[in-house]
Amino acid sequence: MIIFNTTVPMTRTAVQSKAKNVTMFSGKGGVGKTTSAAATALHYATTGKKTLVISTDFTPSLRDIFELECTDKPAKVTDNLYLDEITYSDVKALWEKKFGPQLYDVFSTFVDIGYEEFADFVATILPGIRDEFMVDYIREISESGQFESIVWDTAPAGQTLGLLRMPSLMNHHLKPAARIYSSLKTTQNTKRSVLGVIREWQELSDKDMEFLRKDVKFSIVTIAEALAVGQLEGIFAEFRGYGLSIDHLIVNQVVEGADSPFLESKAQMQQRHIADLKRRFKLESTILPLLPHEVKGIERIREIERRLFASTSQWAG
Protein backbone atom coordinates (compact mmCIF):
# COMPACT_ATOMS: atom_id res chain seq x y z
CA MET A 1 0.00 0.00 0.00
CA ILE A 2 1.39 3.40 -0.90
CA ILE A 3 0.50 6.74 0.54
CA PHE A 4 1.12 9.75 -1.65
CA ASN A 5 0.90 12.37 1.02
CA THR A 6 2.98 11.65 4.06
CA THR A 7 1.18 14.34 6.10
CA VAL A 8 -1.96 12.16 6.27
CA PRO A 9 -2.16 10.27 9.58
CA MET A 10 -1.17 6.67 8.97
CA THR A 11 -2.80 5.06 11.94
CA ARG A 12 -5.93 3.97 10.11
CA THR A 13 -6.26 1.64 7.16
CA ALA A 14 -6.99 2.93 3.71
CA VAL A 15 -10.75 2.68 3.49
CA GLN A 16 -11.75 3.41 7.07
CA SER A 17 -13.02 6.79 8.06
CA LYS A 18 -14.13 8.93 11.03
CA ALA A 19 -17.79 8.65 11.82
CA LYS A 20 -18.86 8.17 8.21
CA ASN A 21 -20.42 4.76 7.82
CA VAL A 22 -21.11 4.82 4.08
CA THR A 23 -18.31 4.40 1.53
CA MET A 24 -19.08 5.16 -2.09
CA PHE A 25 -16.91 3.93 -4.97
CA SER A 26 -16.90 6.02 -8.09
CA GLY A 27 -14.84 6.14 -11.29
CA LYS A 28 -15.04 5.39 -14.98
CA GLY A 29 -16.29 2.07 -16.39
CA GLY A 30 -14.24 -1.10 -15.96
CA VAL A 31 -11.61 0.31 -13.57
CA GLY A 32 -12.57 -1.87 -10.61
CA LYS A 33 -15.28 -0.04 -8.64
CA THR A 34 -17.37 -3.14 -8.05
CA THR A 35 -14.29 -5.20 -7.22
CA SER A 36 -13.11 -2.59 -4.68
CA ALA A 37 -16.59 -2.26 -3.20
CA ALA A 38 -16.88 -6.03 -2.83
CA ALA A 39 -13.44 -6.27 -1.17
CA THR A 40 -14.20 -3.38 1.20
CA ALA A 41 -17.56 -4.84 2.20
CA LEU A 42 -16.02 -8.26 2.78
CA HIS A 43 -13.40 -6.63 4.99
CA TYR A 44 -15.92 -4.83 7.18
CA ALA A 45 -18.04 -7.98 7.46
CA THR A 46 -14.99 -10.02 8.43
CA THR A 47 -14.14 -7.55 11.18
CA GLY A 48 -17.58 -8.22 12.65
CA LYS A 49 -19.56 -5.26 11.34
CA LYS A 50 -22.98 -5.96 9.92
CA THR A 51 -22.39 -4.70 6.39
CA LEU A 52 -24.51 -3.98 3.33
CA VAL A 53 -22.94 -3.75 -0.10
CA ILE A 54 -25.37 -1.98 -2.40
CA SER A 55 -25.24 -1.02 -6.06
CA THR A 56 -26.93 1.89 -7.82
CA ASP A 57 -25.71 0.68 -11.21
CA PHE A 58 -28.76 -0.41 -13.21
CA THR A 59 -26.56 -2.95 -14.98
CA PRO A 60 -25.01 -4.28 -11.79
CA SER A 61 -22.43 -7.02 -11.34
CA LEU A 62 -22.16 -7.36 -7.57
CA ARG A 63 -24.25 -10.51 -7.43
CA ASP A 64 -22.05 -11.94 -10.19
CA ILE A 65 -18.80 -11.10 -8.45
CA PHE A 66 -20.00 -12.80 -5.27
CA GLU A 67 -21.37 -15.67 -7.39
CA LEU A 68 -24.66 -15.31 -5.56
CA GLU A 69 -27.77 -17.15 -6.69
CA CYS A 70 -30.08 -15.88 -3.94
CA THR A 71 -32.41 -13.11 -5.09
CA ASP A 72 -33.55 -11.90 -1.65
CA LYS A 73 -33.40 -8.16 -1.04
CA PRO A 74 -31.03 -7.83 0.67
CA ALA A 75 -29.42 -11.21 0.03
CA LYS A 76 -27.13 -12.77 2.61
CA VAL A 77 -23.66 -13.35 1.14
CA THR A 78 -21.77 -14.62 4.17
CA ASP A 79 -21.56 -13.87 7.90
CA ASN A 80 -22.41 -10.19 8.48
CA LEU A 81 -22.50 -9.43 4.76
CA TYR A 82 -25.65 -8.54 2.82
CA LEU A 83 -26.05 -7.44 -0.77
CA ASP A 84 -28.63 -5.35 -2.59
CA GLU A 85 -28.87 -3.99 -6.11
CA ILE A 86 -31.24 -1.08 -6.59
CA THR A 87 -33.62 -1.52 -9.51
CA TYR A 88 -35.97 0.85 -11.32
CA SER A 89 -38.89 -0.55 -9.40
CA ASP A 90 -37.20 0.05 -6.01
CA VAL A 91 -36.69 3.70 -6.91
CA LYS A 92 -40.24 4.01 -8.16
CA ALA A 93 -41.62 2.43 -4.99
CA LEU A 94 -39.71 4.86 -2.78
CA TRP A 95 -40.80 7.87 -4.80
CA GLU A 96 -44.40 6.67 -4.74
CA LYS A 97 -44.31 6.20 -1.00
CA LYS A 98 -43.16 9.78 -0.51
CA PHE A 99 -44.85 11.78 -3.26
CA GLY A 100 -46.58 9.71 -5.96
CA PRO A 101 -50.32 9.86 -5.20
CA GLN A 102 -50.18 13.47 -3.95
CA LEU A 103 -48.50 14.74 -7.09
CA TYR A 104 -50.78 12.66 -9.28
CA ASP A 105 -53.83 14.29 -7.72
CA VAL A 106 -52.54 17.65 -8.79
CA PHE A 107 -51.17 16.65 -12.16
CA SER A 108 -54.26 14.73 -13.25
CA THR A 109 -56.42 17.83 -12.82
CA PHE A 110 -54.85 19.33 -15.94
CA VAL A 111 -53.36 16.36 -17.86
CA ASP A 112 -55.25 13.25 -18.87
CA ILE A 113 -52.86 10.53 -17.77
CA GLY A 114 -53.26 7.25 -15.88
CA TYR A 115 -51.55 6.82 -12.53
CA GLU A 116 -49.17 4.02 -13.59
CA GLU A 117 -47.99 5.91 -16.64
CA PHE A 118 -47.47 9.05 -14.58
CA ALA A 119 -45.55 7.22 -11.85
CA ASP A 120 -43.37 5.39 -14.38
CA PHE A 121 -42.58 8.61 -16.15
CA VAL A 122 -41.70 10.64 -13.11
CA ALA A 123 -39.94 8.04 -11.02
CA THR A 124 -37.95 6.13 -13.57
CA ILE A 125 -37.82 7.96 -16.87
CA LEU A 126 -36.99 11.44 -15.61
CA PRO A 127 -33.34 10.83 -14.74
CA GLY A 128 -33.05 13.53 -12.10
CA ILE A 129 -35.78 12.16 -9.93
CA ARG A 130 -34.56 8.63 -10.34
CA ASP A 131 -31.09 9.71 -9.24
CA GLU A 132 -32.27 11.69 -6.28
CA PHE A 133 -34.29 8.78 -5.03
CA MET A 134 -31.28 6.48 -5.29
CA VAL A 135 -29.45 8.77 -2.88
CA ASP A 136 -32.57 8.87 -0.75
CA TYR A 137 -32.82 5.07 -0.77
CA ILE A 138 -29.32 4.75 0.64
CA ARG A 139 -29.87 7.56 3.13
CA GLU A 140 -32.94 5.74 4.45
CA ILE A 141 -31.03 2.50 4.92
CA SER A 142 -28.18 4.38 6.58
CA GLU A 143 -30.52 6.19 8.97
CA SER A 144 -32.45 3.02 9.80
CA GLY A 145 -29.33 1.81 11.64
CA GLN A 146 -29.83 -1.72 10.28
CA PHE A 147 -26.21 -1.87 9.15
CA GLU A 148 -23.04 -0.68 10.81
CA SER A 149 -21.39 -0.21 7.50
CA ILE A 150 -22.71 0.45 3.98
CA VAL A 151 -20.55 0.08 0.89
CA TRP A 152 -22.00 1.77 -2.17
CA ASP A 153 -21.05 0.58 -5.64
CA THR A 154 -22.02 2.98 -8.43
CA ALA A 155 -22.48 3.24 -12.17
CA PRO A 156 -19.58 4.71 -14.23
CA ALA A 157 -18.44 8.23 -13.30
CA GLY A 158 -20.60 10.33 -15.64
CA GLN A 159 -23.81 8.88 -14.29
CA THR A 160 -22.67 8.97 -10.70
CA LEU A 161 -21.81 12.64 -10.82
CA GLY A 162 -25.31 13.25 -12.14
CA LEU A 163 -26.63 11.39 -9.15
CA LEU A 164 -24.58 13.48 -6.74
CA ARG A 165 -25.68 16.67 -8.39
CA MET A 166 -29.36 15.86 -8.18
CA PRO A 167 -30.31 16.86 -4.67
CA SER A 168 -28.95 20.38 -5.07
CA LEU A 169 -30.33 20.75 -8.60
CA MET A 170 -33.74 19.59 -7.42
CA ASN A 171 -33.65 22.16 -4.72
CA HIS A 172 -32.78 24.86 -7.21
CA HIS A 173 -35.51 23.88 -9.67
CA LEU A 174 -38.23 23.44 -7.13
CA LYS A 175 -38.02 27.05 -6.00
CA PRO A 176 -39.63 28.56 -9.13
CA ALA A 177 -42.06 25.63 -9.17
CA ALA A 178 -43.61 26.89 -5.95
CA ARG A 179 -44.20 30.28 -7.59
CA ILE A 180 -45.72 28.76 -10.72
CA TYR A 181 -48.10 26.59 -8.79
CA SER A 182 -49.16 29.35 -6.47
CA SER A 183 -50.41 31.34 -9.48
CA LEU A 184 -52.38 28.41 -10.89
CA LYS A 185 -56.13 28.77 -10.72
CA THR A 186 -56.70 25.70 -8.62
CA THR A 187 -58.92 25.26 -5.65
CA GLN A 188 -57.51 26.48 -2.39
CA ASN A 189 -57.16 22.92 -1.15
CA THR A 190 -55.22 21.72 -4.15
CA LYS A 191 -53.02 24.78 -4.16
CA ARG A 192 -52.13 24.23 -0.57
CA SER A 193 -51.24 20.64 -1.25
CA VAL A 194 -49.05 21.53 -4.25
CA LEU A 195 -47.04 23.99 -2.22
CA GLY A 196 -46.84 21.54 0.64
CA VAL A 197 -45.50 18.81 -1.61
CA ILE A 198 -42.91 21.12 -3.13
CA ARG A 199 -41.75 22.23 0.29
CA GLU A 200 -41.46 18.63 1.44
CA TRP A 201 -39.52 17.76 -1.65
CA GLN A 202 -37.12 20.63 -1.04
CA GLU A 203 -36.60 19.43 2.50
CA LEU A 204 -35.90 15.96 1.21
CA SER A 205 -33.33 17.30 -1.27
CA ASP A 206 -31.61 19.19 1.53
CA LYS A 207 -31.49 16.05 3.65
CA ASP A 208 -30.06 13.99 0.80
CA MET A 209 -27.33 16.54 0.15
CA GLU A 210 -26.57 16.76 3.85
CA PHE A 211 -26.32 12.97 3.95
CA LEU A 212 -23.78 12.98 1.09
CA ARG A 213 -21.70 15.61 2.87
CA LYS A 214 -21.81 14.22 6.39
CA ASP A 215 -22.13 10.46 6.16
CA VAL A 216 -20.53 9.38 2.91
CA LYS A 217 -16.88 8.77 2.34
CA PHE A 218 -15.90 8.93 -1.34
CA SER A 219 -13.34 6.64 -2.92
CA ILE A 220 -12.35 7.14 -6.53
CA VAL A 221 -11.05 4.15 -8.44
CA THR A 222 -8.81 4.64 -11.45
CA ILE A 223 -6.25 2.82 -13.57
CA ALA A 224 -2.80 4.18 -14.43
CA GLU A 225 -3.57 5.09 -18.03
CA ALA A 226 -3.72 8.49 -19.71
CA LEU A 227 -7.46 8.56 -20.37
CA ALA A 228 -8.45 7.57 -16.84
CA VAL A 229 -5.89 9.83 -15.18
CA GLY A 230 -6.97 12.70 -17.45
CA GLN A 231 -10.58 12.41 -16.28
CA LEU A 232 -9.69 12.61 -12.60
CA GLU A 233 -9.16 16.37 -12.48
CA GLY A 234 -12.73 16.89 -13.73
CA ILE A 235 -14.16 14.36 -11.28
CA PHE A 236 -12.38 15.99 -8.33
CA ALA A 237 -13.54 19.44 -9.42
CA GLU A 238 -17.16 18.32 -9.65
CA PHE A 239 -17.09 16.79 -6.20
CA ARG A 240 -15.54 19.98 -4.83
CA GLY A 241 -18.25 22.02 -6.54
CA TYR A 242 -20.84 20.31 -4.33
CA GLY A 243 -18.82 20.68 -1.19
CA LEU A 244 -17.90 16.99 -1.24
CA SER A 245 -14.34 15.89 -0.71
CA ILE A 246 -12.74 12.73 -2.01
CA ASP A 247 -11.18 10.74 0.79
CA HIS A 248 -9.33 8.03 -1.00
CA LEU A 249 -7.88 7.17 -4.41
CA ILE A 250 -7.40 3.59 -5.57
CA VAL A 251 -5.09 2.94 -8.51
CA ASN A 252 -6.06 -0.50 -9.73
CA GLN A 253 -4.60 -3.09 -12.08
CA VAL A 254 -1.00 -2.03 -11.65
CA VAL A 255 1.57 -4.48 -13.05
CA GLU A 256 3.93 -5.85 -10.42
CA GLY A 257 6.86 -8.21 -11.02
CA ALA A 258 6.86 -7.80 -14.81
CA ASP A 259 8.56 -10.81 -16.37
CA SER A 260 8.31 -10.02 -20.06
CA PRO A 261 9.23 -7.05 -22.28
CA PHE A 262 5.50 -6.51 -22.87
CA LEU A 263 4.65 -6.26 -19.18
CA GLU A 264 7.85 -4.32 -18.43
CA SER A 265 6.80 -1.69 -20.93
CA LYS A 266 3.27 -1.55 -19.50
CA ALA A 267 4.66 -1.28 -15.96
CA GLN A 268 6.89 1.65 -16.94
CA MET A 269 3.97 3.45 -18.55
CA GLN A 270 1.87 2.92 -15.41
CA GLN A 271 4.66 4.12 -13.10
CA ARG A 272 4.88 7.38 -15.07
CA HIS A 273 1.15 7.93 -14.55
CA ILE A 274 1.42 7.04 -10.87
CA ALA A 275 4.22 9.59 -10.43
CA ASP A 276 1.95 12.14 -12.09
CA LEU A 277 -0.94 11.22 -9.78
CA LYS A 278 1.28 11.54 -6.70
CA ARG A 279 2.28 14.99 -7.78
CA ARG A 280 -1.24 16.18 -8.52
CA PHE A 281 -3.44 14.60 -5.89
CA LYS A 282 -2.46 14.84 -2.28
CA LEU A 283 -4.67 12.28 -0.62
CA GLU A 284 -4.70 8.84 0.89
CA SER A 285 -4.15 6.34 -1.90
CA THR A 286 -3.82 2.63 -2.49
CA ILE A 287 -2.17 0.77 -5.34
CA LEU A 288 -3.79 -2.55 -6.26
CA PRO A 289 -1.96 -5.12 -8.38
CA LEU A 290 -3.16 -6.48 -11.69
CA LEU A 291 -4.04 -10.09 -10.92
CA PRO A 292 -3.58 -12.84 -13.49
CA HIS A 293 -7.27 -13.74 -13.28
CA GLU A 294 -10.59 -11.96 -13.00
CA VAL A 295 -11.83 -11.25 -9.50
CA LYS A 296 -14.81 -13.52 -8.90
CA GLY A 297 -15.81 -15.45 -5.80
CA ILE A 298 -14.98 -14.77 -2.17
CA GLU A 299 -11.43 -16.16 -2.26
CA ARG A 300 -10.41 -13.91 -5.14
CA ILE A 301 -12.12 -10.90 -3.57
CA ARG A 302 -10.05 -11.61 -0.44
CA GLU A 303 -6.84 -11.14 -2.44
CA ILE A 304 -7.95 -7.58 -3.21
CA GLU A 305 -9.17 -7.08 0.36
CA ARG A 306 -5.77 -8.05 1.75
CA ARG A 307 -4.05 -5.43 -0.37
CA LEU A 308 -6.66 -2.77 0.26
CA PHE A 309 -6.39 -3.20 4.00
CA ALA A 310 -2.76 -4.20 4.30
CA SER A 311 -1.09 -3.15 7.54
CA THR A 312 0.50 0.28 7.59
CA SER A 313 3.98 -1.26 7.73
CA GLN A 314 3.59 -2.10 4.06
CA TRP A 315 3.14 1.54 3.18
CA ALA A 316 5.95 3.14 1.29
CA GLY A 317 6.48 6.83 0.77
List residues near Mg ion by CB under 5 A: 33-34
User: What residues from 240 to 299 belong to the interface with ligand ADP (CB under 6 A)?
Assistant: 252-253, 288, 290-291, 294-295
**Rounded Cα–Cα distance for residues 159 and 60 (Å):** 13
To Mg ion, the closest distance from the beta carbon of 61 in angstroms equals 5
Name the residue nearer to ligand ADP (CB basis): 80 or 252: 252
Name the residue nearer to ligand ADP (CB basis): 31 or 141: 31
Residue 159 binding ligand ADP, by CB under 6 A: no
Binding mask 35-64 for ligand ADP (x = CB under 6 A): x-------------------------x---
To ligand ADP, the closest distance from the beta carbon of 304 in angstroms equals 6
Query: Under a CB-based contact definition with an 8 Å cutoff, are residues 50 and 149 in contact?
Result: yes
Number of residues that bind ligand ADP (CB under 6 A): 16
Name the residue nearer to ligand ADP (CB basis): 99 or 236: 236
Name the residue nearer to Mg ion (CB basis): 65 or 198: 65
Name the residue nearer to ligand ADP (CB basis): 51 or 253: 253
> Distance from CA of residue 149 to its chain's centroid?
14
Residue 251's CB is within 10 A of a number of other CB atoms, namely 25
* Partner that binds at residue 127, options Mg ion, ligand ADP, none, CB closer than 5 to 8 Å by kind: none
Q: Which residues bind ligand ADP (CB under 6 A)?
A: 27, 29-35, 61, 252-253, 288, 290-291, 294-295
